[in-house]
Structure 1
Amino acid sequence: MKVIAVVGTKKTGKTTLVEALVRSLAKHGKVGTVKNMVDHPVDRGDTRRHFDAGADVVIGLGEARLLVRRDRGDLESALAELEREGMDYAVVEGFKNSSLFKIVMADIEVSNMVRRVRLPEVDEDLVAELAEMVRGMEDYKTAG
């Protein structure tokens, strides 16, 4: 599985680039994503009520299947799960301190930067170039 992270500060276009990369990579295989949601409470409302009642896992069914677990997990376990699910590509949004190769969307310094991009530069040609770069990467090896 090929893995790339898109990192940057808030409102720099990370999600816009992730969406475009996913669309482009999906033409060549199965794509999974991981989003860093440290400050985003995913367990409020009915999900929180189910947890408060004692559930360890809550599965929501609708247009998609959403599984919420009590365990926080980590990036490595999330990537291992995508690998087990047969993904060819994983696009990670956030996790700027990880060891992953990164496309940077802001004026921050990070390890393993492969490209710095500004939102106004994001067009079809750039996305195709970035997707081709990801397709040419070596497979990421998870611990799981």
Structure 2
Amino acid sequence: MKIISVVGPKKSGKTALVEALVRSLKGRGRVGTVKNMPGHPVEDRGDTRRHFDAGAEAVVGVGQEGVYFKVARGGSLEEALEELRNGGVEYAIVEGFKRSGLPKIVLGGIEVKNPVRMVDASPPFGDDLIEELVDLLISLPDL
């Protein structure tokens, strides 16, 4: 499974970028997302709903009340990714988890480990940028 995380400060456009990536990827294979929701109730609204509306087949929210799964139950990023993998997801887009070891698309100039692309743009994101980021994800090794 190809996995990338989209990270950045609050209100930097992370969810909008995840939506655009999901829309672009959904014709190329099964897409799932994981949303880091620290300090938020985990529910079927807001950003997790936006991931579904963009076309993700599976969405996992990890937050203060545990884990919200559309497909299963678990308790960590690793378990969430394993559930997506077991569900046949080919592309996983993770929103947040900036301290993870995952490769990252970085918004807002924050410093993180494993950045693969810094994005100096805000929504709406152009089609050329989205295509470049999709090609980048496709080129990554399976995790």
With the shorter chain as reference, the TM-score category is: 0.7 to 0.9
Stretches of 4+ moved more than 6 A in 1? none
Residue deviations 1:87-137, cap 9 Å, x none?
Answer: 000000000000000000112100000111121582111101100111111
Q: Sequence identity of aligned pairs in percent?
A: 55
Q: Which of residues 132, 136, 141 in structure 1 aligns to 2:139?
A: 136
- In structure 1, list runs of 5 or more residues that go unmatched: 44-58, 60-64
Is 16-25 or 119-128 further displaced after alignment?
Answer: 119-128
- What is residue 82 of structure 1 aligned with on the other side? 84
- Match status 1:34 vs 2:34: yes
Determine if contact 2:35/2:95 at 8 Å carries over to the other structure: yes
Residue 41 of structure 1 deviates from its aligned partner by 1.1
Aligned length: 118
Q: Which amino acid aligns with 1:24?
A: S
**Greater length-normalized contact order (CA 8 Å, ≥ 6 residues apart):** 1
Q: Which amino acid aligns with 1:128?
A: E
TM-score calculated relative to the size of structure 2: 0.76
Residue 42 of structure 1 deviates from its aligned partner by 2.5
Q: Secondary structure at the match of 1:4?
A: strand
Distance 2:71 2:116 in 1: 33
